[in-house]
């Protein structure tokens, strides 16, 4: 779920080190503040651009691939994907509140609330073939956003690519985290997933920036545990790391019950964060899968 080893720039949307992280005065200014009225951010969502991080992206004609980040992180974790397969995939890294370029906004600790805000943002972009990719927490967010779009009468995605996470109807092998104190929460996250550098653990100012979004995402996941199965008319591919100690292939295979349109699973070398070292192979697999899905999607959308 947590990709600290990808570097701080994956969260803050720019390259930085511990030494150039803003200290206490500016940290306080950057911490999420409650809006004067709840509708303030919702009204601004209509601009859409705040929800996607696409620096330097060139116009594409391929399948739009919306990429949902893992817990605690933002769209910057997909920065290097943007122009990797131009013409085949048009990458749209999703930027949710409380992180990256939206660090000053409150993180959303309810997945249904987050989905409700995402649907009107993504809906106008379903005018050509599109697909969803989500890693860990992002996999669950992708699946529920897909379901909400379909319920709202919008075209379904051509494919769902769900990585390193079981569906919420299957409980994982580890106990809940959200009730823990900040110190115990960080310790347990690091014990389970690793990758938090010691210099970050020793920097309370940095942790103060990371914690609100991380806690919100973990809480959103835990609140969904035991959720009923959703039957989606969309093919699902589940991706996993061969040495992932948290999400087993058997757990991931529970996604097959969430689709009426076909399921497959593929494992890559690596652990829970295989998507970094296996980026090229992962994008190649999605491109090849979507080449056929795009044809099926266009045929489905033709008027009878």
Residue 23: what pLDDT? 41
What end-to-end distance do the CA atoms of the chain give, in Å? Answer: 43
pLDDT band at residue 193 under the 50/70/90 scheme: confident
Residue in this structure with the two tokens 């997909």, named with its chain if needed: 78
pLDDT of amino acid 3? 37
Distances (CA, A) of 257 to 170, 220, 240: 11, 22, 17
Residue pair 236/259 in contact (Cβ under 8 Å)? The answer is yes
Q: Assess whether pLDDT exceeds 90 at residue 54.
A: no
- Residue pair 72/45 in contact (Cβ under 8 Å)? The answer is no
Question: What is the predicted pLDDT for the residue at 174?
Answer: 84
Is the pLDDT at 18 greater than 60? The verdict is no
- Hey, what's the torsion of the CAs at 174, 175, 177, 182, to 10 degrees? -90
Task: Give the range with max mean pLDDT: 79-93, 178-192, 227-241, 279-293.
Answer: 227-241
Distance CA 57, CA 67 (A): 14
Rounded to two decimals, the pTM is 0.84
pLDDT at residue 52 is higher than 80: yes
Does residue 129 surpass a pLDDT of 80? yes
Strands 89-93, 263-268: pairing kind: unpaired
Calpha distance 129→294 (Å, rounded)? 6
pLDDT digits (tens, 9 = 90+) for 230-263: 999 999 999 999 999 899 999 999 999 999 999 9
The residue to which tokens 């097959």 are assigned: 256
Burial, 145: exposed, middle or buried (Cβ in 10 Å; 0-12, 13-18, 19+)?
buried
pLDDT tens profile 30-42: 444 443 344 444 4
List of residues 6+ apart from 60 with CB closer than 8 A: 86, 87, 89, 90
The pLDDT assigned to 10 comes to 56
- Whole-angstrom distance, CA of residue 146 vs CA of residue 76: 22
pLDDT at res. 194: 64
Dump pLDDT digits (tens) for 59-104: 677 899 999 999 988 999 999 998 787 678 999 999 999 999 999 9
Residue 136 pLDDT level (bands cut at 50, 70, 90):
very high
**Angle (deg, nearest 10), helices 204-224 and 111-122:** 90
Q: What angle do CA 15, 218, 11 make, to 5 degrees?
A: 5
Which of 108-112, 227-231, 287-291, 292-296 is modeled with the greatest confidence? 108-112
**Domain map of the chain by residue range?**
50-301
Q: Which CATH number does the domain 50-301 belong to among 3.40.50.1820, 1.20.1050.10, 3.40.630.30, 3.30.750.24?
A: 3.40.50.1820
């Amino acid at each position: 779920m947590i990709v600290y080893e990808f570097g701080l720039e994956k969260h803050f949307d720019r390259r930085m080190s511990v030494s150039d992280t803003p200290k206490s005065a500016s940290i306080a200014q950057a911490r999420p503040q409650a809006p004067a009225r709840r509708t303030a951010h919702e009204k601004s969502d209509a601009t859409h651009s705040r929800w996607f991080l696409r620096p330097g992206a060139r116009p594409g004609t391929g399948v739009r691939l919306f990429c949902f980040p893992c817990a605690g992180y933002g769209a910057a974790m997909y920065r290097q994907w943007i122009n990797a397969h131009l013409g085949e995939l048009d990458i749209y890294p999703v930027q949710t509140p409380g992180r990256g370029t939206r660090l000053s906004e409150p993180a959303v600790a309810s997945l249904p609330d987050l989905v409700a805000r995402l649907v009107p943002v993504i809906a106008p972009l379903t005018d050509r073939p599109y697909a969803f990719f989500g890693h860990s927490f992002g996999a669950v967010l992708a699946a529920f956003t897909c379901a909400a779009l379909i319920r709202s009468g919008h075209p379904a995605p051509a494919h769902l690519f769900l990585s390193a996470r079981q569906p919420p109807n299957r409980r994982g092998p580890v106990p809940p985290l959200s009730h823990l104190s900040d110190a115990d929460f960080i310790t347990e996250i690091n014990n389970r997933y690793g990758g938090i550098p010691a210099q970050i653990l020793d920097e309370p100012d940095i942790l103060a920036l990371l914690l609100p979004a991380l806690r919100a995402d973990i809480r959103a996941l835990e609140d969904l545990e035991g959720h009923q199965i959703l039957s989606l008319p969309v093919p699902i591919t589940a991706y996993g790391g061969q040495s992932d100690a948290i999400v087993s292939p058997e757990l991931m295979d529970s996604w097959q019950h969430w689709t009426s349109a076909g399921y497959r699973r593929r494992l890559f070398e690596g652990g829970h964060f295989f998507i970094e070292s296996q980026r090229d192979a992962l994008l190649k697999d999605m491109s090849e899968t979507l080449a056929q899905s795009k044809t099926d999607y266009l045929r489905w959308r033709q008027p009878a």
